[in-house]
Each structure stands twice: as C-alpha cells, then as structure tokens.
C-alpha cells in the first residue's frame, strides 16, 4: 500500500494557525476532494475536531492517545501501525495522510508521494510542514495557478 500526504503549504512552510487554515482556495478544496475520494484518510484528533465531521465518501481514521475518543462513522487508533494495518486489511491501495502537523511529521519519512498545494505567499501561523529535501523527491506534476488570489501550484512529488 502506498502512503501519500496531501497538504497545502505557504512559501514559509506554514500550514495553519490557531487550529485553522489561513487561506481559502476553492480549487484546492475541490482538488483535495478529488484526490482523497474513495480512500482511507488518516488524521490526528485536532484535525478531525477542526473539520468537525467525517468527510463523506472516505473512510476516516483518527490517531489519538485519547482512549475515550468516539468518532461516529470513523475509526480511532492509538498508533500508526494499527491504522496502516486496518487500511491494508480493508484493501486500500493509497492511504491519504491529511494532517495535522504531528501526523505529517510522523508519516513524512514513510510517505511515497506528496500531493502538494504550494501557496505562493507567506502567512503568519503556528503550524508548519517539514522541509522537503528535493534530493529525496522527484516532481512528477506541476500545475500553476498564477492568477488566483493567492496564487498557487498543484505539485505532485514521488520519493526517489
């Protein structure tokens, strides 16, 4: 099973602030839906709580140390191995890691692919994404959107 990260990152590696996205790019939300639809999506408790619901058409896996956490129509795991095993046993071919910060860091070294929305602007925030070393990744797709506000690019990276 392939492990993929999907993330929107500002030029200064910021991905959020105070539990929220710092920008609204409707094309990015559509892209997120298209890429993740039909897949198992894995997130941390904070990301689940910020979304506020289970996303339809996807199997939601939540990593949390809170043994009492109940997620209607979702699945809660205490560690990444349990979540990966669950997705594999359910026939998943590409597990989607959707955040937040600690979950991205946990899976960054395990990821085979990154679906990156590069927001071409800096934002003030308290949540960041790990630095991407391009010596370890190969860009397979780049779709610029220079006329949007803020401008952004859809980029796909595969581990070398």
What is the chain's mean pLDDT, rounded? 96
Return the pLDDT at 2. Answer: 98
Residue 21 in this model has a pLDDT that exceeds 90: no
Domain 13-18+38-152 carries which CATH code?
A: 3.40.430.10
| Residue that wins the pLDDT comparison between 21 and 120 | 120
Unique residue bearing structure tokens 């581990």: 159
d(Cα 29, Cα 98) in Å, to the nearest integer? 12
Kindly state the average pLDDT of the residues 15-30: 92
Model confidence at 128, in pLDDT bands (50, 70, 90)? very high
pLDDT tens-digit map of 54-91: 999 999 999 999 989 999 999 999 999 999 999 999 99
pLDDT tens-digit map of 136-150: 999 999 999 999 999
For the whole model, what pTM was predicted? 0.96
Q: Per-domain residue ranges for the chain?
A: 13-18+38-152
Return the pLDDT at 151. Answer: 97
Report residue 131: phi and psi, to 5°.
-65, 135
Query: For residue 1, which of 87, 127, 107, 109 has the smallest C-alpha distance?
Result: 87
Query: For residue 12, which of 128, 106, 117 has the smallest C-alpha distance?
Result: 128
Give whole-number Cα distances, 106 to 42, 67, 82, 128, in Å: 12, 19, 14, 13
Residue 4 in this model has a pLDDT that exceeds 90: yes
């Amino acid at each position: 099973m392939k492990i993929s990260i999907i993330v929107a990152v500002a030029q200064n590696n910021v991905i959020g602030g105070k539990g929220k996205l710092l920008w609204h790019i409707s094309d990015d939300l559509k892209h997120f839906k298209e890429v993740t639809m039909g897949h198992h999506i894995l997130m941390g408790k904070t990301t689940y709580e910020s979304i506020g619901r289970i996303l339809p058409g996807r199997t939601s896996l939540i990593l949390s140390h809170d043994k009492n956490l109940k997620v209607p129509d979702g699945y809660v795991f205490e560690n990444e191995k349990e979540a990966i095993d669950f997705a594999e046993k359910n026939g998943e071919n590409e597990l989607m890691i959707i955040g937040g910060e600690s979950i991205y860091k946990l899976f960054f070294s395990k990821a085979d692919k990154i679906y990156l929305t590069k927001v071409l602007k800096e934002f003030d925030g308290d949540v960041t994404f790990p630095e991407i070393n391009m010596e370890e990744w190969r860009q397979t797709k780049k779709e610029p959107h220079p006329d949007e506000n803020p401008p952004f690019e859809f980029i796909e990276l595969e581990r070398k």
